[in-house]
Structure 1
């Protein structure tokens, strides 16, 4: 879809929509239009497609000619997103995929869609996951799960019920960025709106059998006054990034002066620099004749400038960025002479690891409701006690070495011997769910072979005693 900042034309009349629904659609459209410029700005910062803000002591021409970019805004998002790794749905009893959702999730490429939705949530403060019955005849999954970007979606929150009250998702635009297709989500119906070439809108209605809005938000740091959270690319991040870009430009300009030291010459003739001052600065041999009074000219060099203050400034700005986002300074391209120890690396990651654990718990609640809706749409059932206990499993957001994990597991197993027989121990050791499944399968296969050997060993003497003596020879 085409990005555009301007005035959109909200639908004034939609065929097949009643007055209450039209009011809700126009209200949602107005909220989306108000939020769009700021969401677009955050996307531009993450993609580094922003104009550098001018500085009073740097010529505008220099800012325009020097290309300065920074990946720090992207680091603010990706450093946390890569620690939110969804591994699947589980039951309190430890059963993996208790409601056989793997087939539907695989048909919807959920392993590809969810990481993008999480990244989008950290970029814009939230993203949305919609569920609806799919058109199987046209090749869609039985239940269609779609991740929606907040740049092209909007929802309103029901504070009393703690759910989405209604939502609007824009699915297509024209070449000028004007929406041409939208889906409006209500508790009792889903409306697919299409704009005709004449500019009028028409809606196709689909019943919603669950009687709840089939839109679930994934939020970063939701608060009482901001139920849809806030962006990782905050005002502080954008301001710090602007100052980092200006420091890069200053360093680039200063490097030219550093490469060509400033010289001075006193008492020289007017034609001493007939070839040009730059040529005189780079010549290996340089001769200056005496002046008209016969005095020898004085040639000297101004004290050479140093790049160290700019380097220190850049390091200071990186430290401020790390404080604002929790991203370790070492991930921002700041190299130290002495590599940190494993304990120091763990301490640096502690804040972002804690943030990831909190976020996984928050998003886990949203994904739990998504899983419940998929089961209810597929099976046509209500929320049972077993379905209400559906839970989510996430990979450990803390990056630890295998030797450290193994040592900790040995110490825990000595205190809790039964821990070594649990799947949690394998998760603690760093194995993925796919690897745990294979390991347990191999274990059951080996145990089955061992039991068979024991049975055969017990039966062998009886078989031998049944054999006649004359046959034994």
Structure 2
């Protein structure tokens, strides 16, 4: 898909919150060859919804990338603002700080299978370990993202089942409140040089429509049946609500407002630094040619000489009290505290350094809200990923939903960052109360091992158990040569027993 060029010829300007924001004028498809009237109405509705949501999603992308402009305050001259380049990455931290706590470990079943339904090969072919973190990051940035599934074209090199992530910036969907599923969705898959869509995938319960715009402007649809009889799209939403099933963005209005104020504070600090470097002075009773080289040269010269005035009076030079920048730093700290309260991101992650480093208990308390949010989000995301896994298995095997497939679940890494010593101490205490816990795979997860490390540890344990069993078996077999049934072997009567004749 081509990169967005929203400074194109087809644009208009809308004023939002006092700032100019470019909005592309994309023409809704009026006629699509190969679809009926009902499908065309769905396509129009999805296109209009996507076009309506696009400006806000693009604005959040601007804040995420740190490209938001300085807002004019009226107190700082416009020419001064234009000379200052100030960047603040707080919106990006509000997204990444939570996304880093959602680390996918794999799919599991109640039986504890390492790779249920042999999903590992399908996910590896789709680079799911690389795709899913990006989808989660996009969901927290734009309120949601989407995971689509389809049968792949194996002959052209695609996986058997194609799993793809779609960002909300180029996608739209509608929600069925009664069945709690997506009942229609669209994803822009390609744009032209002007940023206008020229290829769209539309997902319906019974078919997937691939729309292509010809050079003449006409749209043509290619139809593929949906083998499962349902929309092959699952949303990954952040903080979904009853009235907002597709969630809301981590880059909220509060985050953007606080970021604007903090960015303005940085600009004011930059301007104040120049005045702080050159203190203000006053000279009374000097001649007209005292500052012939300029006031700035007089301020930086090591030696400064002033002659008497016309009446022969000695000049008086005084220095105004030096301005302090402490109020600006305190104001910046206040905005950092507000941002931490709005997002749950610890203040220490925003560049606010304290003199005394916090203790382990203080760090855990700072992360408590972020950890609880991550735990809640992992349950929500796990529900969608569970349905993705079920669709992948059904598309690959062509079967119906089985009871075992319904019980598949998602394993996440513990979002709370704890030290290995603390985890080991807690595990020892729990094993004393529950001795069987030491033999469980959950104990390895509790100790902080990743799923790959757990797999290797269990494989090493199996090899060790096999060697131990073989060694014990050899000792038993070797001992049976000397004793059978626990009794000594009989000695022949004519054998020499080493005792001489009497």
- Normalising by the smaller structure, the TM-score range is over 0.9
User: How far apart, CA to CA, are the structure 2 residues paired with 1:106 and 1:464?
Assistant: 56
SS of residue paired to 1:100: helix
Give a deviation string over 1:10-60, Cα, whole Å, max 9, x none.
Answer: 111111111100110011000000000000000010001221111111111
- What is the match of residue 43 of structure 2? 25
**2:406 matches 1:388:** yes
How does 1:313-324 map onto structure 2 within 5 Å? 313-324=331-342
SS of residue paired to 1:101: helix
- What is the match of residue 412 of structure 1? 430
**2:176 matches 1:158:** yes
SS of residue paired to 1:458: helix
How does 1:27-106 map onto structure 2 within 5 Å? 27-106=45-124
How does 1:198-217 map onto structure 2 within 5 Å? 198-217=216-235
Give a deviation string over 1:205-227, Cα, whole Å, max 9, x none.
Answer: 00001111000000000001100
**2:20 matches 1:2:** no
SS of residue paired to 1:439: helix
- What is the match of residue 346 of structure 2? 328
SS of residue paired to 2:390: helix
**2:226 matches 1:225:** no
SS of residue paired to 1:327: coil
SS of residue paired to 1:58: coil
How does 1:48-447 map onto structure 2 within 5 Å? 48-447=66-465
SS of residue paired to 1:120: helix
SS of residue paired to 1:453: helix
Give a deviation string over 1:145-204, Cα, whole Å, max 9, x none.
Answer: 000010000000001110001001100000111100000100000000000011001111
Asked whether the equivalents of residues 2 and 176 of structure 1 are also in contact (C-alpha less than 8 Å), the reply is no
Q: CA deviation at 1:463?
A: 3.0
Q: CA deviation at 1:418?
A: 1.2
SS of residue paired to 1:52: coil
- What is the match of residue 460 of structure 1? 478
Give a deviation string over 1:413-464, Cα, whole Å, max 9, x none.
Answer: 1111111111111101100011111111111111111111111101112235
User: How far apart, CA to CA, are the structure 2 residues paired with 1:387 and 1:6?
Assistant: 44
- What is the match of residue 498 of structure 2? none
TM-score, structure 1 normalization = 0.98
User: How far apart, CA to CA, are the structure 2 residues paired with 1:10 and 1:97?
Assistant: 45
User: How far apart, CA to CA, are the structure 2 residues paired with 1:80 and 1:229?
Assistant: 15
User: How far apart, CA to CA, are the structure 1 residues paired with 2:144 and 2:322?
Assistant: 51
Q: CA deviation at 1:93?
A: 1.8
Q: CA deviation at 1:465?
A: 6.2
User: How far apart, CA to CA, are the structure 2 residues paired with 1:288 and 1:379?
Assistant: 94
Asked whether the equivalents of residues 169 and 184 of structure 1 are also in contact (C-alpha less than 8 Å), the reply is yes
Q: CA deviation at 1:9?
A: 1.1
User: How far apart, CA to CA, are the structure 1 residues paired with 2:413 and 2:40?
Assistant: 43
User: How far apart, CA to CA, are the structure 2 residues paired with 1:465 and 1:87?
Assistant: 53
User: How far apart, CA to CA, are the structure 2 residues paired with 1:52 and 1:96?
Assistant: 52
User: How far apart, CA to CA, are the structure 2 residues paired with 1:440 and 1:96?
Assistant: 10
User: How far apart, CA to CA, are the structure 1 residues paired with 2:196 and 2:127?
Assistant: 29
User: How far apart, CA to CA, are the structure 2 residues paired with 1:138 and 1:352?
Assistant: 44
Give a deviation string over 1:87-136, Cα, whole Å, max 9, x none.
Answer: 11000122122111000000000001000000000000000000010111
- Give unpaired runs (5+ residues) of structure 1: none
Asked whether the equivalents of residues 220 and 359 of structure 1 are also in contact (C-alpha less than 8 Å), the reply is yes
Find the partner of 1:11 among 26, 29, 32: 29
User: How far apart, CA to CA, are the structure 2 residues paired with 1:462 and 1:250?
Assistant: 91
User: How far apart, CA to CA, are the structure 2 residues paired with 1:320 and 1:253?
Assistant: 24
SS of residue paired to 1:183: strand
TM-score, structure 2 normalization = 0.92
